[in-house]
Structure 1
Amino acid sequence: MSKISIESIRDTEEPQPRRKKSNISGDVPGSVSYSIGTGKHAQDSVVWLTIRWSFILGITLSLVLIIFMWPSSPDGIHPPLDAEFPIEQLKTIWSIFVPIVTLALGYMFGKGK
């Protein structure tokens, strides 16, 4: 029979879980930070994207409304509504996007440094 000493039991270390080794060091930018940046650049990029998409959507909806209301004949038979220029509908469309653009510009240029 072999004798096991208490000292040999104490000296053995419990196996530690292996750490996964990675070739990547430091922070890795993700797809969002790659497209809008980080820090102050990200804040400015978000404001720029907000303004840009507000104008794109406003212009697109305005053009769709004008094309839909454009009469196909001189009699104005095509549109289901009156053959008048849709100024009230355009005001309604832009009343949504103008405050968003104003708010974004106020945030961008009104920040204290």
Structure 2
Amino acid sequence: MSIRFIKAMKLMSKISLGEMDEPPKKKSSINTDLPGSLSATLGTGKHAQDSVVWLTIKWSLTLGFLLSCALIWFTWPDSPDGIHPPIESKFPIEELKTIWGVFIPLVTLTLGYMFGKTR
């Protein structure tokens, strides 16, 4: 090692930086509300409950409508020559009942949860 390096090290060891205060530690508690991506989307507390209800209703109605449109689009009319309206048209009423038989109970369940009696 060079003499300059040794002298520099001795000089640096004599430099006093004073007492360093540690930053105060924050107390952590599980009971606090920690905001996250889900809290930013839905909210917290009562707002989160209302948001989940309205998201459930919105997606149930949207999916029911889109599935109904797709069903009607692909099953009716059934005329191979493209004449509209076809002579023998079969409207898929039973399939529509099945689709909405899934989504309407979800909507009524969420509305009952939102507007139902609390205790």
| 1:103 paired residue among 88, 102, 109 | 109
Greater than 4 Å deviation, 4+ residue runs: 18-22
Identical columns (%): 61
Q: Which runs of 5+ in 1 are unaligned?
A: 1-17, 77-81
Report deviation, 1:70.
2.5
* 1:91 equivalenced with 2:100 (yes/no): no
Q: CA RMSD in A?
A: 2.7
Query: 2:70 aligns to what?
Result: 64
Query: 1:6 aligns to what?
Result: none
C-alpha distance in 1 between matches for 2:24 and 2:92? 64
**How many positions carry a matched residue from both structures?**
88
SS at match of 2:112: helix
C-alpha distance in 1 between matches for 2:23 and 2:64? 53
Report deviation, 1:56.
0.6
C-alpha distance in 2 between matches for 1:107 and 1:28? 26
Q: Highest Rg: 1 or 2?
A: 2
- TM-score, length basis structure 1: 0.67
Report deviation, 1:108.
0.2
Q: Which runs of 5+ in 2 are unaligned?
A: 1-21, 27-31
